[in-house]
């Protein structure tokens, strides 16, 4: 007998399997974290744009990272909040594919941006005299545009492979957004090709960039140790350690989700890990860069002082 294949028009996101009271509590908590994520990353964008001292390649890429983090949150969190108040509310097939495409685009873009930012730090510390030439504004613009375009094309490949699959039910996605692995579980044909492409892409976009970052920071560490001034070593290590914290959080959770054996990570545990992409990474990134970066803290203090002086006048 053939499989009864029907045209799917919508999916149902199951979200978190908790009671009504816990759902209300999670709605309040996630709403607060969502607002803080937008506020924190928006503050980074505002500080960099309003302070000429921060108009450097490092903060140019930091602005792109902040934009990616805000886009992450805006892509997944509103739908999750709606589902917490109205469980089992459906999402259209087109909306689900759009959410998957945007999530993959932002994930890939963040991977590439973190590598570019590590290269920027490598040039700044290991080749300071050539920094302005190597990291010119033209080069920075090309790197940023390439990151977005490449990531979008790779995400388009994933979505294109999903669109060729038939879905014949059930139409319930056991997740709080249309995550690609959860969507593939609903297909009524073999998805081995999709799984292979996801794994190969994970090696290419996760393991490869992570190795490049580690190589860059191995050389950076050697250069820092050769700096004679104690203050110079402290300043160089401060900016690099902020980036390393972000790299560890992002790549660690991504590799666990997409490259570790799935039998060791039940679906409910995977949902918790994906909260890192929706909340914790986007929320922690501006905190890490602001609390461990003297230039950002100085720009914030100057902005607050100007605000207080204008109120007094």
Query: Residue 3 domain-assigned?
Result: no
| 51: containing domain | 10-312
Res 9: pLDDT: 78
Domain assignment present for 2: no
Cβ–Cβ < 8 Å for 154, 108: yes
User: Of the spans 11-15, 53-57, 143-147, 211-215, which averages the highest pLDDT?
Assistant: 143-147
User: Which of 108, 270, 280 shows the shortest CA–CA distance to 202?
Assistant: 108
Q: What distances in angstroms separate CA 186 from CA 11, 239, 274, one per listed residue?
A: 10, 44, 19
Asked whether residue 236 is assigned to any structural domain, the reply reads yes
Alpha-helical regions (H) of 164-207: 180-184, 192-202
Residue 12, phi then psi, degrees to nearest 5: -115, 125
Q: What is the predicted pLDDT for the residue at 2?
A: 43
Examine residue 246 and state whether it is found in any structural domain, yes or no. Answer: yes
- Say if 1 falls within a structural domain: no
pLDDT tens for each residue of 280-294: 788 877 777 665 566
- Per DSSP, the three-state class of 124 is helix
| 271 lies in some domain | yes
Output the pTM of the full model. Answer: 0.85
Q: How many structural domains compose the chain?
A: 1
Q: In this predicted model, what pLDDT tens digit does every residue of 74-129 receive, in sequence order?
A: 998 888 888 888 777 788 889 999 999 999 999 899 999 989 988 998 898 888 88
CB 61 within 8 A of CB 140: yes
pLDDT digits (tens, 9 = 90+) for 26-62: 899 999 989 999 998 998 888 888 888 888 898 899 8
DSSP 178: -
**CATH number, position 125:** 1.20.1070.10
In a domain, 165, yes or no: yes
Q: What average pLDDT does the segment 169-175 reach? A: 80
Specify if 4 maps to a domain: no
Quote the CA–CA distance of 231 and 223 in Å, as a whole number. Answer: 14
């Amino acid at each position: 007998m053939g499989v009864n294949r029907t045209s799917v028009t919508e999916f149902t996101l199951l979200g978190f399997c908790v009671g009504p009271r816990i759902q209300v509590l999670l709605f309040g908590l996630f709403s607060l974290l969502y607002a803080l994520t937008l506020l924190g990353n928006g503050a980074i964008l505002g500080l960099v744009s309003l302070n000429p001292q921060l108009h450097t390649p490092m903060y140019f890429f930091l602005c792109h990272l902040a934009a990616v983090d805000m886009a992450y949150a805006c892509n997944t969190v509103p739908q999750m909040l709606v589902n917490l108040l109205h469980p089992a509310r459906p999402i259209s097939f087109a909306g689900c594919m759009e959410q998957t495409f945007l999530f993959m685009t932002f994930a890939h873009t963040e991977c590439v941006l973190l590598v570019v930012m590590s290269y920027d730090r490598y040039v700044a510390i290991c080749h300071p005299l050539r920094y302005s030439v190597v990291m010119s504004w033209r080069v920075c613009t090309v790197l940023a545009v390439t990151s977005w375009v490449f990531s979008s094309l790779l995400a388009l490949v994933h979505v294109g492979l999903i669109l060729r699959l038939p879905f014949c039910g059930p139409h319930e996605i056991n997740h709080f957004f249309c995550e690609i692995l959860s969507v593939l579980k609903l297909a009524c044909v073999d998805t081995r090709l999709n799984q292979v492409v996801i794994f190969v892409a994970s090696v290419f976009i996760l393991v490869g960039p992570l190795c490049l970052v580690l190589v860059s920071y191995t050389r950076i560490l050697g250069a820092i140790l050769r700096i004679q001034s104690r203050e110079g070593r402290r300043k160089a290590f401060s900016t690099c350690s902020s980036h390393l914290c972000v790299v560890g959080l992002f790549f660690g959770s991504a590799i666990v989700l997409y490259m570790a054996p799935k039998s060791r990570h039940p679906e409910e545990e995977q949902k918790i890990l994906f909260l890192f992409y929706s909340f914790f990474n986007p929320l922690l990134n501006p905190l890490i860069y602001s609390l461990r970066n003297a230039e950002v803290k100085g720009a914030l203090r100057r902005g607050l002082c100007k605000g207080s002086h204008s109120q007094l006048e």
